[in-house]
Amino acid sequence: MYIGGAEVRTNNTRNITPPHDHQHVVGHYHLADEAIVDQAISNALASRKAWADTPWEHRAAVFLKAADLLAGPYRAKINAATMIAQSKTVHQAEIDAACEFIDFLRFNAYFMTQIYRDQPVSSPGIWNRVEYRPLEGFVYAITPFNFTAIAGNLPASAALMGNVVLWKPSDHQIFSAQVINEVFRKAGLPEGVINVVYGDAAMVTKKVLEHPDFAGLHFTGSTQVFKSLWKQIGNNIEKYKTYPRIVGETGGKDFIIAHPSAPAKQVATAIVRGAFELQGQKCSAASRVYLPESSSEEILELVKKDLASIKAPGSPEDMGCFVTAVIHEGAFDKLAAVIDSAKNDPEIEIVAGGGYDKSKGYFIQPTVLVTKNPKHTHMESEYFGPIVTVYIYPDHLWEDTLSLVDQTSQYALTGAVLAEDRYALVQATKALENCAGNFYINDKPTGAVVGQQPFGGARGSGTNDKAGSAQNLLRWVSPRLIKETLIAPEDYRYPFLG
């Protein structure tokens, strides 16, 4: 752990093991106790003034240097750490740990200048200006396992805007989080700006959310955890000096809907890439699919052919592997149970996959289920693994099916429509306007790029503050308006009085 620039060890440790080789111990991490959490918060608050007073261009320079370190000398290291920690293929590691993280850091410096540039008008005799102050207190960043870029961006974006941050990474990303910490230190991030603790998430969070100086939560993870955090913040509201900012990007049950005019090969490719890259562990991964009766057979045949060409899930060290292991035993057991229940379910047919094995790594075969029940729990629940459920609709019920997509599941993160018929695309874009924060036309629903497709969803999927945009950075500042009168009046009487 890191507090005030110093490495902190408690000697209460846990093993770090790669998901694709769970008997191979690659490291250990130390767990915080309550005293460590207190220390991390006090130290961050003691570091606050110096950092908040640091001119923005110097704050930007630190993170721009971090971006250049990641693009250059640390590129291989952060990619390798991500392959080991999160079992990403080299391609998935590169687009996440290197490309997306570098983009976050560089674009955020640019978005920050856009925010600062936004100033009010001044009428004659007056000069108005807005100062974009950091929040009064500290920001708490809680990050998920699945993206090294998100892990780095959540603390970095708040820190860039002048805040001090307490960062708690996921237990399952610590091996690559360590490289992020190394890069931040090498880039010259001053001591105490981002303090890092590991350990019992509930204990750490309870301590943090009871602190009077808690000023903001930057969370990415599951919906259930985010809701529990929001409740805790509500219960503690009387304790805080300020109303905390709450930003959370959470789960998804992301859809693909194909119109009868969609080319079968394009739909099949969107399914295979959208549902199975990173073992379906992208928040944006397709996990419910709506196919028209007329082309469903052809599309499913193509998907099966593609899946037959994919090597059995294996180690990312094998460059021929398109899918590797899911993140941990808990995830494996849950996914295996979903597959088992599907095997015994009269409403479900398993058309591809259905195998699993955890003897060496947590391997789940890419699995395609077909259901006749569009409201089946497999169409509603997020499993966060390589399982996709397909519902086949009668072609003439296209519009009804759009309503069905809108009314299924609590989430609204990503979704994709495929069609060649322009009117069908217009209909889908309108009918599905509230069921995806990121909506894709003739594409898969994954792969948002910073600066191009700002990312986030609504409903149960989050506060939609769009990571990778100025909108997100705005949540980490508290604007102060300063009005200056150039020549102050010296007589209280207004002209009408005469």
Give the x-and-dash track for 279-318 against ligand NAD (CB under 6 A). Answer: ----x-----------------------------------
Give yes or no for residue 103 binding ligand NAD (CB under 6 A). no
The CA distance from 59 to 56, in Å, is 5
Give yes or no for residue 145 binding ligand NAD (CB under 6 A). yes
The CA distance from 425 to 402, in Å, is 11
Give yes or no for residue 249 binding ligand NAD (CB under 6 A). yes
CB 322 within 8 A of CB 307: no
Amino acid code (one letter) for 315: S
For 99, which DSSP code?
I
Q: State in angstroms the smallest separation of the CB of 432 from ligand NAD.
A: 18
Indicate the burial class of 14 (C-beta count within 10 angstroms; 0-12, 13-18, 19 or more): middle
Tracing tokens 């549902």 back to the chain, one arrives at 275
Strands 348-352, 367-371: pairing is antiparallel
The CA distance from 173 to 82, in Å, is 8
- Main-chain dihedrals φ then ψ at residue 61, nearest 5 degrees: -60, -40
For ligand NAD, how many residues bind (rule: CB under 6 A)? 30
The CA distance from 436 to 46, in Å, is 41
Q: State in angstroms the smallest separation of the CB of 495 from ligand NAD.
A: 57
Indicate the burial class of 430 (C-beta count within 10 angstroms; 0-12, 13-18, 19 or more): exposed
Q: Which of 87, 157, 250, 365 binds ligand NAD (CB under 6 A)?
A: 250
Which of these ranges, 140-148, 180-188, 364-372, 475-483, lies near ligand NAD under the rule CB under 6 A?
140-148
For this structure, is 210 an active site residue?
Answer: no
Q: Which of 96, 213, 382, 465 binds ligand NAD (CB under 6 A)?
A: 382
Give yes or no for residue 252 binding ligand NAD (CB under 6 A). yes
Q: Which of 89, 153, 220, 401 binds ligand NAD (CB under 6 A)?
A: 220
Give yes or no for residue 146 binding ligand NAD (CB under 6 A). yes
Give yes or no for residue 214 binding ligand NAD (CB under 6 A). no
Helix (H, G, I), strand (E, B) or coil at 207: helix
Per residue, what are the HEC states of 15-56? EECCCCCCCCCCEEEECCCHHHHHHHHHHHHHHHHHHHCCCH
Amino acid code (one letter) for 359: S
For this structure, is 249 an active site residue?
Answer: yes
For helices 201-209 and 34-52, the axis angle rounded to 10 degrees is 50
Nearer to ligand NAD, 403 or 434 (CB): 434
Give the x-and-dash track for 446-465 against ligand NAD (CB under 6 A). Answer: ---------x-x---xx---
Give yes or no for residue 413 binding ligand NAD (CB under 6 A). yes
Among the listed residues 94, 277, 283, 435, the single catalytic one is 283
Give yes or no for residue 203 binding ligand NAD (CB under 6 A). no
Q: Residues with catalytic annotation?
A: 249, 283
List residues near ligand NAD by CB under 6 A: 142-147, 150, 168, 170-171, 201-202, 205, 220-222, 225, 228, 249-252, 283, 382, 384, 413, 455, 457, 461-462
